Chains A and B, each alone.
Chain A
Amino acid sequence: MRPILPIALAVTLALALVAPATAQAPPTWKQGQPAEMADSTLAPIAQPPAPKAPGEIPVDKIKVPRGFKVSLWAHGINNARVMTWGDKGTLFVSSRVAGNVYAVVDKGGQREVKTIAKGLNLPNGVAFKDGTLYVAEVSRITKMVGIEDKLDDPPAMEVVYDILPRDLPHGWKYLAFGPDGKLYFNIGAPCNICVPPDTHANISRVNPDGTGFEYVAHGVRNSVGFDWHPASKALYFTTHGRDWLGDDLPSDRFDVVSKKGQHFGFPFCHQGDVLDPEFGKGRSCREFVRPLIKTGPHVAGNGVEFYTGSMFPAEYKNRAFLAQRGSWNRTKKSGFRVMMVTLQRGGAPKYEVFAEGWLQGEEIWGRPVYTRQMKDGSLLISDDYAGAIYRVSYQP
């Protein structure tokens, strides 16, 4: 006993001295993982480094309602994410880890893809107004004036606003012009689960000249998709829920902002009715806004878009399309589909599948991430995993 104890004590002391200085949080995706899940093999799905060739994209596996048709509209767009239209018919497409912004030009039925910016810091957000393309990276918003006339010689990216947090976890942004002409974007929680600084976990807005920054919604873990209702002009958004609470908790959510400054619960209350096991102590879910729809656990809802076209049947008018990129933190995969929401006056919204098939059994070949309506009323769906854009059309 005698020789062992001092050694054990010395080791304990050494660890006690060393550990506080060197122990650190695990990578963000693993942060918040409870001890009993330490052996879990769940991990984020790696983004392939290159887009798939057309022959490797099984478009016929995408199932849509009767009368609808899906075709491969564009390919070879590495990590294709948000789509936004230029005034002259150019489709601007963002990426995330690929660091690029693309312009897709329709040349007599063939789509030509040009890279107009590269080497950017997770440039997920793109929005277009009055001849100018706005790009949101992690900590700044920039603009390219008159870009559509200079696709082969893009103008310099001028800074609009560059004092946003530099945190990379949930640092990439969705960017869109609201009906008030302001630029809206998310500032995500810099963690899986934590009490974020007051500056994080929100949806914010700023004037297109960089003035007038303000918070619109709080307690939003990470919203990378939103749109405004065509009639009510209210802001609707998706949010990714926290990880490592198990396969079925918490649900991701689809929400509406009814008043500026509302709090949607993160990190205290998830899905409107589940207190966080750690951060929910002493709180009540009644303090926070409840979701309009619980969209499902780990589905990773990204794109939100209200349908305003006239190609689809009349009942599609003002329905919201929700693109769900799909789960990683779930033993049985969920999401990997495009849902649609029909808001009902005085009743619960209808929430049903519009397009699915990127997930076959437990294997995936693509991840639908955003939608964008075309001028003719058809719907484009981007897929960041396959590096492709699909077009959904309707013919009765």
Chain B
Amino acid sequence: MATAIGAPAADLEAGRRKSEPCAACHGREGNATIPGTPSLAGQPAFFTHWQLIKYRDGRRKDAQMSPFAQSLTDADMADLAAYYEAQRPRPRPNAATADPAKVAAGRQLADLHHCTSCHRPGLTGQQQAARLAGQDHDYLLRLLRGFKARTASDLDGTMTMAAQPLREEDIESLVHFMATLGAEP
């Protein structure tokens, strides 16, 4: 990946301050606990920033996030994205409910469907590609079903295309795998 010279200097402390209203849903330091709400800790800054831009311009829609994003400036977004990238992700408590057979099937499917090409080995994310390891089960399920249905917001179509061959059982297996990834002690 290219290194940028003179990328905008985001302000981590400002990001921490600006993240206070987000904590109600996304948790302390971006580690959410509400099922269906994604954790932001450890997400690549490009990813978080792009999602906020998409909420603001209406390409991505959510009852809570859409109005919230309207009030954000570009600098707010850069600060928030940098702050969350710098936080340590704590795995969600998905492991307890995960089906080991689905986790194993999901691991194979992740290879077959080239998930690591963009999301990196270990599905830790990079640049505009989200961190998936240890993310909330319900959230991942909703997103992946959305990509399959062509209703989830996509930056350039890559995810919508990737999701087309997935059957519902594939989606469930992939999500069981992703949600528990990195959760082993």
**How far apart are the CA atoms of A300 and B149 in the complex, in Å?**
33
Given A119-B57, A168-B161, A169-B157, verify A57-B6 contact (CB < 8 Å).
yes
Does residue B58 face the partner (Cβ distance < 8 Å to A)?
yes
CB < 8 Å neighbour of A365 from B5, B49, B50, B127: B5
Give complex CA distance A196, B117 in Å.
24
- A199-222 interface mask toward B, CB cutoff 8 Å, 1 = contact, 0 = none? 000000000000000000000000
Question: Is residue B46 contacting chain A, with contact meaning CB distance below 8 A?
Answer: yes
Can you report 24 residue pairs joining A to B where beta carbons are below 8 Å apart? A22-B112, A24-B112, A24-B162, A24-B165, A27-B117, A27-B161, A27-B162, A43-B1, A45-B1, A45-B2, A46-B128, A47-B128, A49-B46, A49-B53, A50-B78, A51-B74, A56-B6, A58-B5, A97-B155, A99-B54, A118-B57, A168-B160, A168-B161, A169-B161
- A53 touching B8, Cβ below 8 Å: yes
B5 near A99 (CB under 8 angstroms)?
no
In whole Å, how far is A360's beta carbon from the nearest beta carbon of chain B?
A: 7
Any B CB within 8 A of the CB of A225: no
Q: Shortest beta-carbon distance, A110 to chain B, in Å?
A: 19
Q: Judging by beta carbons under 8 Å apart, are A100 and B57 in contact?
A: yes
Say yes or no for A122: interface residue by CB 8 A criterion: yes
The answer to whether B5 and A364 have CB atoms under 8 Å apart is yes
Contact string against A for B residues 19-35, beta-carbon threshold 8 Å, 1 for contact and 0 otherwise: 00000000000000000
Produce 1/0 per residue, A63-93, CB < 8 A to B: 0000000000000001000000000000000
B118 to chain A, nearest CB (A): 6
Assembled-state Cα–Cα distance A46/B127 (Å) = 6
Q: Are B118 and A119 in contact (CB under 8 A)?
A: no
Q: Is A188 an interface residue (CB 8 A)?
A: no
A171 CB–B CB distance under 8 Å: yes
* B96 located at the interface, meaning its Cβ lies under 8 Å from any Cβ of chain A in the complex: no
A-binding residues in B (CB < 8 A): 1-9, 46, 49-50, 53-54, 57-59, 74, 77-78, 81, 109, 112-114, 117-118, 127-128, 154-158, 160-162, 165, 167, 170
Q: Are B156 and A168 in contact (CB under 8 A)?
A: yes
**Closest-CB distance, B167 to chain A (whole angstroms):** 8
> In A347-385, which residues have CB < 8 Å from any B CB?
360, 363-365
4 cross-chain pairs, A with B, having the tightest CB-CB distances, nearest first: A168-B157, A46-B127, A49-B49, A56-B6
Q: Is B4 within 8 A of A360, CB to CB?
A: no
Describe A's contact surface by its main secondary structure.
Answer: loop
> Separation in Å of the A373 CB from the closest CB of chain B?
28
| Complex interface: chain A residues within 8 A of B8 (CB) | 50, 52-53, 56
For B113, give the chain A residue with the smallest CB separation. Answer: A24
B59: chain A residues at CB < 8 Å are 99, 119
Assembled-state Cα–Cα distance A43/B158 (Å): 14
Determine whether A12 belongs to the interface, using a CB cutoff of 8 Å to chain B.
no
Q: How far is the CB of A384 from chain B (nearest CB, A)?
A: 13
Chain A residue with minimal CB distance to B9? A56
Q: Is B114 a contact partner of A50 (Cβ separation < 8 A)?
A: no
A46 and B1 contacting across the interface, CB-CB below 8 Å: yes
Q: Check if B2 sits within 8 Å of A27, measured CB to CB.
A: no
Given contacts A99-B57, A100-B57, contact A360 B157 (CB under 8 A): no
Q: Tell me the minimal C-beta distance from A40 to chain B in angstroms.
A: 11
Chain B residues within an 8 Å CB radius of A24: 112-114, 162, 165
Residue A19 is within 8 A (CB to CB) of chain B in the complex: yes
Known contacts A49-B46, A56-B6, A119-B59; 9 additional CB pairs below 8 A are: A26-B117, A43-B1, A48-B46, A49-B128, A50-B78, A57-B6, A99-B59, A169-B157, A363-B4
* A50 touching B49, Cβ below 8 Å: yes
With A and B bound together, what is the CA distance between A27 and B155 in angstroms?
13
Bound form: Cα–Cα A54–B93 in Å: 44
The distance in angstroms between the C-alpha atoms of A189 and B79, with both chains bound, is: 38
Tell me the bound Cα distance from A122 to B155 in angstroms. 9
Q: A30 within 8 Å of B by Cβ?
A: yes
The complex places the Cα of A97 from the Cα of B46 at a distance, in Å, of 13
Residue from A45, A49, A78 having most chain B Cβ neighbours under 10 A = A49
Q: Which residues of A sit under 8 angstroms from B46, Cβ to Cβ?
A: 46, 48-49
Once the chains are docked, how many angstroms separate the CA of A138 from the CA of B155? 13
Bound together, the chains give a CA A325 to CA B79 distance in angstroms of 28
**Contact in complex: B50, A49 (CB < 8 Å):** yes
Q: From B44, which residue of chain A is reached at the shortest CB distance?
A: A46
- Asked if A28 lies at the interface with its beta carbon under 8 angstroms from chain B, I say yes
A15 CB, nearest partner CB in chain B, Å: 9
Residue of A nearest to B74 (CB): A50
Interface: A5 (CB within 8 A): no
A118 contacts across to B, CB distance below 8 A: 57-58
Q: Cβ of A43: which chain B residues have Cβ within 8 Å of it?
A: 1, 117-118
Residues of B near A22 (CB, < 8 A) are: 109, 112-113, 165, 170
CA–CA, A13 to B81, complex, Å? 46
